[in-house]
Structures are given as structure tokens and as C-alpha cells.
Structure 1
Amino acid sequence: MFKIISALTLFISVSVHAQTPDSLLKPSPIKTLTTQQYNALIKGEDQYGMGLVAELNGLPSPDRALKYKKELDLSPTQVATFTKLAVELKRKKIEMGNFIVTNETKLETMFRTKKLNESDLIFYTNRYGLYQGELRNAILQASLKTWQLLSPQQVNKLLTFKKS
């Protein structure tokens, strides 16, 4: 009896640990994207660290500047400008995420139905790269504009705050 209970406990423990938050959600409608990737693209989340080059070199995102607006003593003009930048960046992330999902859906359909040719593959794979490039440009442009609108003292103070 003890062996059966131990085996059952082990099975339940392994089963619970095998389920990730991703696997408990509705599965991604696209085979080539995990649910987490799909949801991030649709919600406009930067899952690829596209702004990392700016962040690591002291150019903050507008969201980061707004997070510390009191500590940085941002002016009302700065707050309004960073808010506008953050809203537009979120819109762009969602737009590009939807384009990427649509493009990935087309690629998956072409392969699933075996209705493909070299020129279509070139077109859709290059388009995928263009969408990612446009997304990264938008993220980095927002960081550049944020950095340009902050004083050197504000930038230095922002760099002292831990990333969270």
C-alpha cells in the first residue's frame, strides 16, 4: 500500500511540475509559435530583447523613464512626451506582432499544404525580417528620443536604479 501511495505521489508531483504556465493556457493557433511567443506578439511585448542594445548603453525606454518620473523630477512636458512615445511604441509593437503572426501563419499554411515555391519562400521570409527590423527600429528610436529629452543628470540618476 505504501509503495502505491508513494508511486501515486511521485506521479502527481511529476505531472504538476511538467505543466508549465504556457501549457495550461489555450494552445497557440500557430504550430511554430509557443503560446507564450504568440501571446507576447499579440500583446506587444518585447520577447526578443530588441531594446537591449540601447538599455545596456544608457538609453532608457520611455516606460522606464516614466516609471521613475518622481525620482527623476520629470517636467510635465517630459511626462507628456514620454507618455505619447510609450503609447505609440505599444501600438507599433502590437501592429508588428500581428503582422509577424499573420506572416508566420502564411508560412505554416504553405508548408502544411505543400503549396510552396522558392519565390514565395523568399518573399515571406524576407518580409518576416522586415517586420522584425521595423519593430526593432521603433523600440530603439523610442529609446533614442527618450535619452535626448532627458538631462544628463536625469540619465545618470536613472542608471542608478535597478532594472526590474
Structure 2
Amino acid sequence: MEDGIWVSQKGDFMIKFMPKFLIVTALCTIHYSQVALAQSHTHDAEATPYAGLQSRTIKSLSETDLEELRRGGGWGFALPAELNGKPGPAHLLELQDELGLSKDQVKKIEAIYSAMREQAIVAGERFIEAEAALSEAFAGDQLDLAELNKLVEAAEAARAELRLVHLSRHLQTTPLLSADQIQQYNILRGYANDPCSSVPEGHDPAMWKKHNGCS
């Protein structure tokens, strides 16, 4: 008939004749139920982004964070310098061959890196201790606003000290490099395009390569 459709037999189901509006209603119900379920799962994931982190010893620091801090790693502190064309000692030493650093440059950068790492390890431990104290304070029931203020100030002071250790070394290494070495560093680190890889339209290839120091 015009107002119905046939549903094919599957397994133990019998062939039935149903009005079209019932089929449409059923399909709409299934669709919106699936959408609601998907939205519920998404909402749950967004609502519990910290699930599992409660097992950390220091709640604000992961094991990876602790390892990075304890070895004197950068932990992202030097990004304002790094991404503004002021290279740091660790990556300069890694790329010394590609950058053509002289023995004198390498010696000076190694001294800067050694001092930075030594100070960063000490400052990193202070920062870890400050974060641990803050975490432990919240685990108890005696924390008041005055004590919280002291703990936060101590943690932020330790963090600032550690950040200064890393950023200051970028200021020390930059004057040791030539403009070409800094440009090549930025290319190797993926912060700038290699001008030798392609000649812009309208430029003489030979002159372009000469001006950009291309081989």
C-alpha cells in the first residue's frame, strides 16, 4: 500500500508491514539517541581532563616533568628567546657541525651550558620542593589563606629563578654567533624557511643565492 513499507525478514524476525510515519519516528529516535550518547561521552571527557592525575605524588608535576627538571632541562622556559632568534647553548652544541661553529665558539658555549645545567638542577629542586609543599598543604585540613599565600609566593619565586637561569643563557650565547649562523640555526630548528630551497618569482636565481649565502 502507499502508506507503508516492507521490512525484510532477518533471523527470527517476521516480515511486517508498518506505516511510514512509525518507521520515520523510530529512525529519528535512534538518531537522536546516538547523538545524545556521543555528546554525553564528549562532555564526560571534557569534564574530567584531570582524571588519573590524582595518583601523582606532586599533583602539579608529572613524572616526565620531574625528570626534565632534575636533569636541568629547559621545560619550555626559554621559548621567548628561542622563538625570537636567540639560540640556547644546548641546541647549539647539538647542531655545532651543521652551523660550522669554531672550536673557540664551542668551548665558550660548552662553558655556558655547563654553568646553566648546574644552576638549573639546583633551582629545579627548589621548584620541585615548593610544588611538593603546596600539594601537601592541600592534602591536609589546616591550610589557611595566609599560609597559602606564602606557599604560592615560594613556588613562583622558585619558578622565576629557574626560568631566569635558562633565559639568561640565550642572551649569553647569541653574541657569540654570526648572523648567518643564527639564520641557519632558525632554519634547522624549523623556525624559518630555507631561502636557498627556492627562488621567489621575479628574482634572479644567481643573485638571490649570492645574497643569501647559498652554495
Q: Give the TM-score of the pair, scaled to structure 2.
A: 0.57
Residues 72 and 118, structure 2, Cα contact 8 Å, conserved in 1:
yes
- Aligned residue in 2 for 1:150: 177
Structure with larger Rg: 2
Q: How many residues align?
A: 138
Alignment of 1:69 onto 2:96 = yes
Distance 1:55 1:106, change over 3 A: same
Give, as a single letter, the amino acid of the residue that structure 2 aligns with 1:162.
R
Q: CA deviation at 1:28?
A: 4.7
> What are the residue-to-residue correspondences of 1:127-146 with 2, within 5 Å?
127-146=154-173
- Aligned residue in 2 for 1:103: 130
Instruction: Provide the C-alpha distance between the structure 2 equivalents of 1:71 and 1:135, rounded to a whole number of angstroms.
Output: 29
- Aligned residue in 2 for 1:86: 113
Residues 28 and 38, structure 1, Cα contact 8 Å, conserved in 2:
no
RCO higher in structure (CA 8 A, sep ≥6) = 1
Give the number of the structure whose residues are more often helix, by fraction. 1
- Aligned residue in 1 for 2:139: 112
Q: Give the TM-score of the pair, scaled to structure 1.
A: 0.73
Deviations 1:49-103 (A, max 9, x none): 2111111111101112112222322222211111111112222222222111111
- Aligned residue in 2 for 1:33: 61
- For structure 1, the residue ranges without an aligned partner over 5 or more in a row are 1-22
Residues 70 and 124, structure 2, Cα contact 8 Å, conserved in 1:
yes
Give % identity.
28
Over aligned residues, Cα RMSD in angstroms?
2.2
Instruction: Provide the C-alpha distance between the structure 1 equivalents of 2:169 and 2:70, rounded to a whole number of angstroms.
Output: 20
